[in-house]
């Protein structure tokens, strides 16, 4: 037992270091309470719907969302738009389809089964339109950044004037949460930028939180299912472990040795 504790301690220490190391050069991110954190975490539907609106009106002109389909907007555990709403959203986009019988590509209104329409034809076009910087695809963005949701949330609010001595090239902005502090995306959010249909006040903080929540969902669309299933699985395992423990005690009691 003594060894057991010693080893557990060392392993814990090791993982502690690991997590620390990931956080090594991190600035303190802005904090907010995310409804999806923790073992029982769920998404806030209204926040997801507002977040979709922010993505659509603000981000989507540069950032693609290529692994998401319009049908996902209807699915359980997501923004849960009604089928009609989602169909209307899809139909508001022009999707390239074809070739038709004449061998030509044609445009048609989007359907639920379509993937989100990309703002640019390809990566090169995106770079050309954005001063050489490629606006990253947003589908799994929160999982692709060390700081996760806190980082994105902070970055959106992290624009400030560069400190004395820092010179910025054209098209480069100062952001205190960006790695190296220099970012090629200008400040996108300002109070009242979008008009929320549910009457929520569209402050910068509110929009940052909503759109980050939305991005968490696009990265982990099955998060709610995962949390629910995890709870069941672990409760089940604990019950079975207890049963097996007592079975083991009973079996080993046949010989006079302690397990």
Partner 1 sequence: MSEHEYTPKSKVGKWFNDRLPLLTLANHLTDYPTPKNLNYWWTFGGILTFCLITQIVTGLVLAMHYIAHADMAFQSVEHIMRDVNYGWLIRYIHANGASMFFLAVYIHIFRSLFYGSYKSPREVIWIIGIIIYLLMMAAAFLGYVLPWGQMSFWGATVITNLFSAIPLVGEGIVTWLWGGYSVDNPTLTRFFTLHYLIPFLILGLVVLHIWALHVPGNNNPIGIDIKKPSKDTVPFHPYIVIKDGFALLMFMIVFAFFVFYTPNILGHADNYIEANPLVTPAHIVPEWYLLPFYAILRSVPDKLLGVIAMLSAILILAALPWLDTSKIRSAVFRPLYKQFYWILVADVLILGYVGAMPAEGLYLLIARIATAYYFLHFLVVLPVLGFKERTTPVPLSITEPILGGSPNLATVKKKDSFKDQ
Partner 2 sequence: MEKKTKRRDFLFTATYAVGAVGAGAVIWPMIDQMNPDASVKALASTEVDVSAVNPGKTITVLWRGKPVFIRRRTQEEIAEAKSVKLEDLKHPEKDEDRAKNPEWLVMLGVCTHLGCVPLDQKGDYNGWFCPCHGSHYDTSGRIRKGPAPTNMEIPEYKFVDANTIKIG
Rule CB under 8 A: which residues touch partner 1?
A: 3-4, 6-7, 10-11, 13-15, 17-19, 21, 24, 39, 67, 72, 136-137, 139-140, 143-146, 148, 179, 219, 221-222, 226-227, 229-231, 233-234, 237-238, 240-241, 244-245, 247-248, 251-252, 255, 257, 259
DSSP 45-87: HHHHHHHHHHIIIIITTT---TT-BGGGGTSTTTT---HHHHH
Residue 5: name its binding partner from partner 2, partner 1, none (Cβ under 5 to 8 Å by kind).
Answer: none
Residue 112: name its binding partner from partner 2, partner 1, none (Cβ under 5 to 8 Å by kind).
Answer: partner 2
The smaller minimum CB distance to partner 1, of residues 38 and 199, is found at 38
Across 133-152, b (16+ Cβ under 10 Å) vs e yields ebbebbbbbbeeeebbbbbb
Q: Give 27's DSSP letter.
A: P
Does the protein bind partner 2 through residue 235 (CB under 8 A)?
no
Pair of tokens at residue 53: 């609106």
The smaller minimum CB distance to partner 1, of residues 107 and 243, is found at 243
Q: Which of 27, 30, 91, 112 binds partner 2 (CB under 8 A)?
A: 112
* Contact string 25-64 vs partner 2 (x = CB under 8 A): ----------------------------------------
The smaller minimum CB distance to partner 2, of residues 108 and 176, is found at 108
- Find the helix or strand (DSSP H, E) in which 108 lies: strand 106-109
Does the protein bind partner 2 through residue 246 (CB under 8 A)?
yes
Whether residue 99 has a cis bond before it, omega within 30° of 0: yes
- What minimum distance in Å lies between the beta carbon of 232 and partner 2? 9
Q: What are φ and ψ of residue 108, in 5° steps?
A: -145, 160
- What minimum distance in Å lies between the beta carbon of 202 and partner 2? 32
The smaller minimum CB distance to partner 2, of residues 153 and 217, is found at 217
Residue 56: name its binding partner from partner 2, partner 1, none (Cβ under 5 to 8 Å by kind).
Answer: none
Q: By CB neighbour count within 10 A (0-12 exposed, 13-18 middle, 19+ buried), where does 52 fall? A: buried
Q: How many whole angstroms separate alpha carbon 243 and alpha carbon 248?
A: 8
Pair of tokens at residue 249: 């005690």
């Amino acid at each position: 037992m003594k060894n057991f504790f010693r080893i557990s301690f060392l392993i814990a220490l090791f993982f502690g270091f690991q997590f620390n190391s990931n956080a090594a050069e991190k600035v303190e991110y802005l904090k907010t309470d995310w409804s999806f954190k923790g073992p029982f975490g769920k998404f806030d539907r209204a926040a997801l719907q507002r977040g979709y609106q922010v993505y659509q009106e603000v981000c989507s002109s540069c950032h693609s969302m290529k692994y998401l389909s319009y049908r996902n907007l209807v699915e359980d555990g997501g923004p849960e738009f009604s089928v009609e709403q989602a169909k209307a959203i899809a139909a508001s986009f022009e999707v390239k389809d074809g070739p038709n019988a004449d061998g030509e590509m044609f445009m048609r209104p989007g359907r639920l089964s379509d993937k989100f329409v990309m703002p640019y034809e390809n990566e090169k076009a995106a770079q050309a339109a954005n001063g050489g910087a490629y606006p990253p695809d947003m589908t799994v963005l929160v999982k692709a950044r060390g700081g996760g949701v806190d980082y994105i949330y902070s970055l959106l609010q992290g624009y400030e004037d560069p400190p004395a001595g820092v010179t910025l090239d054209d098209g480069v902005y100062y952001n205190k949460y960006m790695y190296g502090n220099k970012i090629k995306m200008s400040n996108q959010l300002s109070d009242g930028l979008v008009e929320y249909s549910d009457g929520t006040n569209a402050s910068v903080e509110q929009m940052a939180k909503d759109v980050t929540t939305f991005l968490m969902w696009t990265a982990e669309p099955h998060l709610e299912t995962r949390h629910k299933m995890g709870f069941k699985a672990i409760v089940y395992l604990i019950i079975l472990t207890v049963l097996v423990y007592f079975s083991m005690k009973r079996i080993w009691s046949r010989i006079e040795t302690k397990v």
